[in-house]
């Protein structure tokens, strides 16, 4: 229980995205154990956990949005790179290059 709570706090306290995800991945393994003790949890503790969990979910959703944006950006770059041709790294442009040479 303490470990679960510690990992949750670690995740929320860090500004590093990697650490955030790493803490949550570690925490994920403890969900099962936590359920076994759920009947013993005090009302106050559950209230606090609910609040923390909502913050976790909110940040995860923000991360997800950022990742989708990053993936989109990388995909766009890949398309651009693939559009390059070794034959004409810079497309022919009469105003730019003299192709008669």
Among 3, 6, 19, 46, binds another protein (CB under 8 A): 46
Question: Which residues make Cβ contacts (< 8 Å) with residue 41, sequence separation at least 6?
Answer: 49
Taking CB under 8 A as the rule, does residue 2 contact another protein? no
Q: CA-CA distance, 30 to 62, in Å (whole number)?
A: 24
Binding site for another protein (CB under 8 A): 9, 12, 21, 24-25, 28, 31, 34-35, 38-39, 41, 43, 46-57, 60-61, 63-64, 67-68, 70-71, 74-75, 77-78, 80-82, 84-93, 95-101
């Amino acid at each position: 229980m303490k470990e679960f709570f510690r990992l949750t706090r670690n995740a929320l306290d860090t500004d590093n995205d990697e650490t955030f995800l790493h803490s949550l991945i570690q925490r994920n393994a403890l969900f099962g154990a936590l359920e076994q003790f759920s009947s013993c949890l005090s009302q106050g503790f559950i209230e606090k956990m609910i609040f923390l969990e909502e913050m976790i979910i909110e940040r995860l959703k923000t991360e997800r949005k950022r990742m989708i944006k990053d993936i989109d950006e990388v995909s766009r770059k890949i398309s651009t790179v693939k559009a390059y041709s070794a034959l004409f790294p810079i497309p022919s442009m009469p105003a730019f290059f003299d192709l008669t040479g």
